């Protein structure tokens, strides 16, 4: 069944402070299993489900959850395309931050993982991960941090290290950064640390760390220094420090 879910009852007169999660996966049994798992956590409730990316976008637009758990391979619209919509400025008009998307992936989906990173996903978790890992990942995303399964991270690092040197981001890769990610990159290119970036852009430090992580992944660089070099080389920041 796609759409909204009732979730566990909330005592009258109390505010429901549980994390609201939407599940998007084309396999109903997987959705049902994930829902049972997450609703056993005292701080979480599954408020909606969808069987493809397009339906997921519609459900998420109506429910505005705290976190989305998204499969990559789905009919009608895959998880990458849906994530690209969910992290777009048009979808998030009126919001200070995009709804974080946690991607469900397998070992044989390397290209899809890269595409989902570029689309703005906040985290990745393997489908065969321990149940407690899923709950931890959702909490991390809700707090503004990212989440990469160690095995996914290892494969990404191997892919980056296999690139011929020197590797330089292209203008097209810079174009894949969101407006907020460009602002964060410009700020660190001007010499700001995470605390200063957070204060300057009215963000939490955890959110800044998440943006920096996405910037490094999208540009395909290993550290902040390389990202700063790319910002100057590609003209995002001028040598005099102006954007």
Q: What is the DSSP letter of 99?
A: P
CA dist list (Å): 128 to 51, 76, 151, 211 = 20, 25, 11, 27
Which of 39, 47, 54 shows the shortest CA–CA distance to 4?
47
164 — pLDDT class (breaks 50, 70, 90):
low
CA dist list (Å): 2 to 25, 46, 216, 227 = 10, 12, 35, 41
Q: Is pTM beyond 0.85 here? A: no
| pLDDT of 7 strictly over 50 | no
Show the CA angle centred on residue 103, arms to residues 58 and 53, nearest 5°.
25
Exposed/middle/buried for residue 111 (C-beta within 10 Å: 0-12, 13-18, 19+)? exposed
Q: What percent of the chain has pLDDT over 70?
A: 79
């Amino acid at each position: 069944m796609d759409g909204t879910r009732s979730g566990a009852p909330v005592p009258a007169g109390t505010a429901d402070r549980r994390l609201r999660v939407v599940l998007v996966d084309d396999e109903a049994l997987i959705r049902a299993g994930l829902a049972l798992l997450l609703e056993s956590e005292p701080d979480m409730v599954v408020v909606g489900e969808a069987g493809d990316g397009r339906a997921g976008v519609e459900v998420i637009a109506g429910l505005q959850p705290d976190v989305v758990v998204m499969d990559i391979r789905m009919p009608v619209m895959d998880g990458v395309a849906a994530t690209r919509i969910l992290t777009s400025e048009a979808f998030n008009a009126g919001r200070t931050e995009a709804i974080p998307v946690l991607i469900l992936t397998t070992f044989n989906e390397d290209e899809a993982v890269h595409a989902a990173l570029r689309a703005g996903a906040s985290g990745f978790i393997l489908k065969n991960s321990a149940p407690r890992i899923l709950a931890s990942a959702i909490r991390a995303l809700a707090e503004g941090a990212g989440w990469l399964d160690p095995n996914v991270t290892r494969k990404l690092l191997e892919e980056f290290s296999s690139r011929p040197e020197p590797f330089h981001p292209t203008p097209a890769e810079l174009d894949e950064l969101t407006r907020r990610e460009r602002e964060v990159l410009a700020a660190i290119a001007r010499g700001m640390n995470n605390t200063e970036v957070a204060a300057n852009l009215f963000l939490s430090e955890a959110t800044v760390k998440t943006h920096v992580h996405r910037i490094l992944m999208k540009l395909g660089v290993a550290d902040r220094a390389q990202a700063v070099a790319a910002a100057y080389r590609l003209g995002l920041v001028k040598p005099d420090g102006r954007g």
